[in-house]
Amino acid sequence: MTYPLEGLRVLDLSRIVAGPYAGRLLSDLGADVVKLEGPEGDMARVWGEQRHGLSGFYTQQNAGKRNLGIDLKAAGAAELILRLAETTDIVIENFRPGVMERLGLGWDALHAANPRLILMSVTGFGQTGPNVGRQAFAPIIHAESGLIARQAHFDKFSYTDPILSIADTNAAMHGLIAVLSALYQRESTGEGQHVDIAMFDAMLATDDYSHHALDAFPVRRLGGEIWDATGGPVMIAGEFRSTWVVLRNYVEDPAPPDADLPEKERLRRVTVGAWLNSFPDRQSLLTALEKANLAWGDVRTHEEAFATSQAEARGIIGEIDDRAGGVRRVVQAPYKFSAAEAGVRGPATHRGEHNAEVLADWLGMSPGEVADLTEAGVLLTS
């Protein structure tokens, strides 16, 4: 079996999360993804555990890509990128609006070099609107999109940022959908296009509670509730009233018929809590929840989740070369195809590791030409 995107070429000029994650997924799907890094390197190189010069964060977002070290501000760098763009299907960038233009690599220049090229630009607030140009990492978008305030309201706790870059990953995946759509359209039009992805837009579009704000309808928590239970906490999906409708077949209703609704719910909650703690062991509890047809979940640590038999059966953990003769674990892309392969296809790399290889593959450049560009300060190595 082959990879679905085999043969596609991608230039990844992005850094940290949103752009690199999109590039990583394209690589896992078979594209030849070449990451470009400048003198400062990707900030993600310093986050997480360092093993043999590669951080955990950088490794997770960039495994499987090849790497070109290029100083985009050096004389001749823009011309080299435009030559690469002539042979490229997709360019990914997440600079602030206007930066690519100042580098001589804006949409007009890229489109002129290759009319079939698709450019995906990921920014906090997009290429238009009053917030163009603002710095916007994921926590900023979590705050501006309403996520933090809503979570604090329902948790009755202070404002805190989720320990997850939701805005980045939402933007990356929406960006991939848009890019793959543009690729499909290119088959009939022959033309590429500029895909403008705003993290702010992606958060609002992916939020299944957005209808409450648009309809000015009071928000009700629908996701689920965590209960103390035999063997530890358990998540039960749905509102309490739905849980009670099911469990009233297994326990007696403690609420007097003339009690008001808040008092009925309080008494019923006490009864459900007692029932969840009445079992001799965890397995007996889980068997009872299954029999009642309630959707339940163990509240696990992140480490425990990766150690489950479910994670093993799904092959969600991949192993790559740690660049020192051993292996390092990374999360696999979650795609399972009936007639295609997907998954991490190589290790994370050092800056400029594939300068000669990529330029020979894509441009037919000789070792002498690569050496000249290195001497001129256009090409960089770690």
Which residues are tagged catalytic?
168
Nearby residues of 125 by Cβ (< 8 Å), 6 or more positions away: 131, 132, 134, 136, 198, 199, 200
Question: Residue 3: which of 282, 340, 371, 243 has the closest Cα?
Answer: 340
Closest CA to 121 of 132, 130, 350: 132
Distance (Å, rounded) from C-alpha 322 to C-alpha 317? Answer: 15
> Quick check: 331 and 318 in contact, CB under 8 A?
yes
Q: How far apart are the C-alpha atoms of 376 and 373, rounded to whole Å?
A: 5
Distances (CA, A) of 261 to 155, 241, 265, 277, 341: 22, 11, 6, 24, 54
- For the chain, the maximum distance between any two Cα atoms, rounded to a whole number of angstroms, is 90
Q: Which amino acid is at 65?
A: K
Q: Check: CB of residue 380 under 8 Å from CB of residue 70.
A: yes
Which tokens sit at 57? 């964060």
d(CA 203, CA 74): 36
Q: Please return the burial class of 143, using the count of CB atoms within 10 Å of its CB with bins 0-12, 13-18 and 19+.
A: middle
Identity of the amino acid at 67? N
